[in-house]
Chains A and B, each alone.
Chain A
Amino acid sequence: MNLFFERDLRLSRRKFFGKTAQGIGALALMSLLSEEGYAQTASQGMPGLPGVPHFAPKAKRVVVLWQGGAPSQIDLFDYKPDLAKHYLEELPESVRQGKRLSTMTSGQKSFPILGAINPFRQYGQSQMWLSEMIPHIGSIADDICLVKSMHTEAVNHAPGVTFFLTGSQIPGRPSFGAWAVYGLGSLTRDLPAFVVMTSADRQKSCGQLFYDYYWGSGFIPSKYQGVRFRSEGEPVLYLDNPPGMSPELRRSLLNDIDKLDQKRYQDFGDPEIETRIAQYEMAFKMQTSVPELLDISKEPANILEMYGPDVQRKGSYAHNCLIARRLLERGVRFVQLMHAGWDQHLNLSTQLAIQCQDTDQPSAALVKDLKQRGMLDDTIVLWAGEFGRTVFVQGDINKPNGHGRDHFGDAYSLWIAGGGFKGGTVFGETDDFCYSVTKDPVGVHDMQATLLNQLGIDHKRLTYKYQGRDFRLTDVAGEVVREIVG
Chain B
Amino acid sequence: MVSGQVVLGMRLRSPLVCSLSLGLMALGIFVRGDGGAEPQVDFARDVQPLFKAHCLPCHSADEANGKLVLASYKSVMQGGRHGPVVIPGKSSQSLLVARILGQGGQERMPLGFAPLTDAQIRTIRDWIDQGAHGSAPGAGSETHWAYIKPTKPPVPVLNSSWIKTPVDAFVLSKLRSEKLSPAPEADRTTLIRRLSLDLTGLPPSPAEVDAFWADRSPNAYGKVVDRLLASPHFGERMALPWLDAARYADSNGFQQDGDNNQWVWRDWVVKAFNGDLPYDQFVVDQLAGDLLPNPTLDELVATGFNRNHMLNGEGGAIPEEQRNVICFDRVDVTSTTLLGLTMACCRCHDHKYDPFTQKDYYSLMAFFNNVPESGVPSGDGQYRIADPWIYAGSSEQMTRLKALKAVAASTSSRLDRLRQSAPFESALRAWKTEVEESAQEAKRAKLVYSPWKVSKEFRGASFDAAFKDSFAPETEKEPTGVVRPKLTDGQVHELTGDNTAFYFGRTVDSDKTCRLLFSFGSDDGIKVWFNGELIVSHKVTRGAAPDEELATVELHPGTNRLLIKVVNGGGIGGWYFRANGSRFQDSVLALVSKSSLSPEELERLRNAFLDDSPPSGWREAKAQAEAATDAVKKFEALLPRAMVMSDGQPRTTHVLSRGNYEAPLDEVHPRTPTVLPPEPKGVPANRLGLAQWIVSPDNPLTARVEVNRVWQMLFGTGLVKTSENFGVQGEPPSHPELLDWLAVDFREKGWDVKRLVKMIVMSSTYRQSSQCTPELRERDPENRLLARGARFRLSSFFIRDVALASSGLLNTKVGGKPVYPYQPKDIWDSLSITEERDFSYPQSKGADLYRRSLYTFWRRTVAPGNMFDAASRQVCTVRPVTTSTPMHALTTLNDVTWVEAGRVLAQHVMKDAGPTPERRLAEAFRRVCARRPGADELKILVEAFTRSYQTYKAHPDQALAYLSVGDSPRDANLDPAEYAAYASVCLAIYNLDEAMTRE
Contacts and interface: CB of A to CB of B under 8 A. Distances in A.
B185 interface: no
A384 to B, nearest CB: 19
A420 B134 CA distance: 48
Contact of A269 (B111, B315, B777): B777
Chain A CB within 10 Å, residue with most, of B112, B833, B951, B994 = B112
A51 interface: yes
B778 A24 contact: yes
B112 A264 contact: no
Interface string A428-463: 000000000000000000000000000000101111
A171 B875 contact: yes
Interface string B955-984: 101111111110000000000000010001
Given A171-B874, A207-B255, A209-B255, A222 B869 contact: yes
Nearest to A159: B312
B601 interface: no
Interface in A130-175: 155-159, 169-172
Contacts of B994: 260-261, 264
A361 B844 CA distance: 43
A244 B255 contact: no
12 contacts: A50-B115, A51-B114, A157-B255, A158-B314, A172-B875, A209-B830, A238-B866, A238-B894, A260-B994, A261-B992, A467-B725, A468-B729
Contacts of A426: none
A236 interface: yes
A227 B310 contact: no
Interface string B347-373: 010001110000000000000000000
Chain B CB within 10 Å, residue with most, of A209, A212, A396 = A209
A399 B899 CA distance: 56
B534 interface: no
A244 B884 contact: no
Nearest to B829: A232
B978 to A, nearest CB: 14
A468 B730 contact: yes
Given A244-B962, A246-B958, A468-B729, A237 B887 contact: yes
Contacts, number: 317
A253 interface: yes
Nearest to B862: A212
B860 to A, nearest CB: 8
A275 interface: yes
B895 interface: yes
Interface of A: 22-25, 28, 32, 35-36, 49-52, 54, 100, 102-104, 155-159, 169-172, 192, 198, 200, 204, 206-213, 216, 218-223, 227, 230, 232-234, 236-246, 248-250, 252-253, 256-257, 259-261, 263-265, 267-270, 272-273, 275-277, 279-280, 282-283, 285-287, 340, 345-346, 395-396, 399, 401-403, 406-407, 458, 460-463, 465-470, 476
Contact of B894 (A24, A241, A340): A241
Interface of B: 57-58, 63, 108, 111-115, 253-255, 257, 310, 312, 314-319, 325, 328-329, 336, 342, 344-345, 348, 352-354, 494, 496-498, 571-572, 662, 722, 724-725, 727-730, 770-772, 774, 777-778, 781, 791-793, 824-826, 829-831, 833-835, 860-863, 865-866, 868-869, 872, 874-875, 877, 881, 883-891, 893-896, 899, 934, 936-937, 940-941, 943-944, 947-948, 951, 955, 957-965, 980, 984-985, 987-988, 991-994, 996-997, 999
Contacts of B831: 209
A232 B826 contact: yes
B990 to A, nearest CB: 10
A207 B325 contact: no
B865 A51 contact: no
Contacts of B791: 268, 270, 272
Contacts of B877: 219
Contacts of B941: 256, 260
Given A209-B255, A273-B993, A399-B496, A244 B958 contact: yes
B865 A238 contact: yes
Contacts of A252: 944, 947-948
Contacts of B881: 219-222
A280 B336 contact: no
A211 B861 contact: yes
A209 B825 contact: no
Given A28-B778, A51-B113, A252-B947, A212 B314 contact: no
A216 B781 CA distance: 29
A271 to B, nearest CB: 8
B891 A212 contact: no
A233 B826 contact: yes
A396 B496 contact: yes
Given A158-B312, A236-B890, A252-B944, A213 B57 contact: no
A248 to B, nearest CB: 8
A234 B829 CA distance: 13
Given A245-B958, A283-B889, 12 more contacts: A102-B315, A192-B887, A207-B834, A238-B865, A238-B893, A243-B961, A244-B962, A256-B943, A268-B770, A279-B884, A401-B496, A469-B344
Contacts of B571: 104, 345-346
A156 B885 CA distance: 34
Chain B CB within 10 Å, residue with most, of A52, A170, A248 = A170
A461 B112 contact: yes
B899 A242 contact: yes
B960 A244 contact: yes
B984 A245 contact: yes
A259 B939 CA distance: 11
Given A223-B885, A460-B57, A468 B354 contact: yes
User: Which 10 pairs between the two chains have the least Cβ-Cβ distance?
Assistant: A244-B962, A402-B496, A102-B316, A244-B961, A461-B112, A468-B729, A172-B875, A283-B889, A283-B886, A468-B725
A239 B890 contact: yes
A222 B944 contact: no
B833 A209 contact: yes
B959 to A, nearest CB: 6
Contacts of B965: 242-244
A237 B824 contact: yes
Contacts of A277: 993
B874 A407 contact: no
B775 to A, nearest CB: 8
A403 to B, nearest CB: 7
A104 B962 contact: no
B659 to A, nearest CB: 10
B961 A238 contact: no
B342 A158 contact: no
